[in-house]
Structure 1
């Protein structure tokens, strides 16, 4: 028996149902016919877009075979399999664009090690008149050295910009920000709690299991990290419009 994991999560990030519904409504307003999801995971948001845009087809790109399998199953269950592809490959230099709508939520690193280069890739991948939904981390305030030491390994101030700098980088890459919104503390807490909840219950019910010690160490480490960046690290959802080439 292995600990269950992520069964309580709908989205792999701090995204509420209400915000997801609003995003889908906004992103389908211009009637996209092609959707590209970078680092799609299970492709939940892409599938919701396709359900709301019956003329659209979607391609999700990711390296996680298990997530892609779950995405294919979900597409089949919702009657969307004929309009959806889940591709197991790197997004670096992908040839799957340009698309009318590009989703890149928490996965810009799949397009480049540095954010400016990733944004240039997104500009290449979106069709003129289309939209990009970029979900990207930003510092709500500058973390202290002590806080950084308790976050992820080798965490640094340079890992993320502040929100103003993030939007400036998007503009420099050839976009205008149609809509700017940020994940709320409630969304963060729902996501992080949901990420750990199944495993926490398993640990309570199986304290003597051979895997309990290493699982407990992993879960405690993760919780300590997110309680450190709680209120410090934000996630912006930017709806970006590509500037037309003259």
Structure 2
């Protein structure tokens, strides 16, 4: 088969959120955040900013900035903002979040992207990320943090099946993570965790369009590379972190 722009492997088009987050949970997160009447909202590692856009739709008059280093996702976010008629209230910026001066703000979204606040030359440090989030939010402001934690201690076999170099120190338990948030200057107003169904929706949705593409284009020049990548991703989940790695959504209030 010949290659063209229209038959390339799709990228994440089937996902609403880039993480295990259901519509029902997203609605609750947004309602709680919008009820505080934020004037300015910062989304760190925003991707295409679906949650940010929904917060701005719910919090009339609020303005938002989403920062990320993926230009393709940011372009998708700008298109979504135009479609929803709020492009004048949101800015999508291609830049690093490390040491950002885009605070202080009333509300911060940081879902699955706290590593963007940490030194890339050092191991991921949630404590350092939480201190940065506290620096970037005003007293009394809200942070919605989506962060990984160990549901239980992974076995050596499970670690070996996860991402390259995975080890027990990559994540904390949920209790230890909440303690770090308190130490950083927050009160944990709401603690919730992604369900098994949310994980399955995300993991399957992450690969769905690509799997369908592979079935239709088995001889495409990019098929072998794409198949290897997708099979590796799926095995990392099924044989590695499924039922072991959790995601918590913490609604944190900055202490005055």
Question: Paired residue for 1:62?
Answer: 68
Question: Paired residue for 1:40?
Answer: 46
Question: Paired residue for 2:159?
Answer: 148
Separation of aligned partners in 2, 1:237 and 1:51: 21
**Is 1:186 aligned to 2:192, yes or no?**
no
Separation of aligned partners in 2, 1:38 and 1:110: 8
SS at the partner of 2:27? helix
SS at the partner of 2:251? strand
Question: Paired residue for 1:104?
Answer: 110
Separation of aligned partners in 2, 1:225 and 1:92: 28
SS at the partner of 1:234? strand
The CA deviation at 1:5 is 2.0
SS at the partner of 1:6? coil
Separation of aligned partners in 2, 1:56 and 1:149: 45
SS at the partner of 1:22? helix
Deviations 1:23-75 (A, max 9, x none): 00011111101000000010100000000001200010110111111101111
The CA deviation at 1:128 is 1.1
Which 4+ stretches in 1 moved above 6 angstroms? none
**Is 1:79 aligned to 2:85, yes or no?**
yes
Question: Paired residue for 1:49?
Answer: 55
Question: Paired residue for 1:8?
Answer: 14
Instruction: Please list every run of 5 or more consecutive structure 2 residues that lacks an aligned counterpart in the other structure.
Output: 1-6, 119-123
The CA deviation at 1:152 is 0.3
Separation of aligned partners in 2, 1:58 and 1:17: 21
**Is 1:241 aligned to 2:247, yes or no?**
no
Q: Aligned Cα RMSD in Å?
A: 0.8
Question: Paired residue for 1:210?
Answer: 221
TM-score (norm 1): 0.98
Instruction: Please list every run of 5 or more consecutive structure 1 residues that lacks an aligned counterpart in the other structure.
Output: none
Question: Paired residue for 2:27?
Answer: 21
Q: Please say which of residues 22-31 and 208-217 is displaced more in the overlay.
A: 208-217
**Is 1:161 aligned to 2:172, yes or no?**
yes
Question: Paired residue for 1:232?
Answer: 244
TM-score (norm 2): 0.94
Deviations 1:104-161 (A, max 9, x none): 0000001114111110000000111110000000000000011100000000100000
Separation of aligned partners in 1, 2:219 and 2:45: 37
Deviations 1:144-192 (A, max 9, x none): 0111000000001000001000000000101010000000000000000
Separation of aligned partners in 2, 1:72 and 1:215: 27
The CA deviation at 1:6 is 1.1
Separation of aligned partners in 1, 2:69 and 2:215: 32
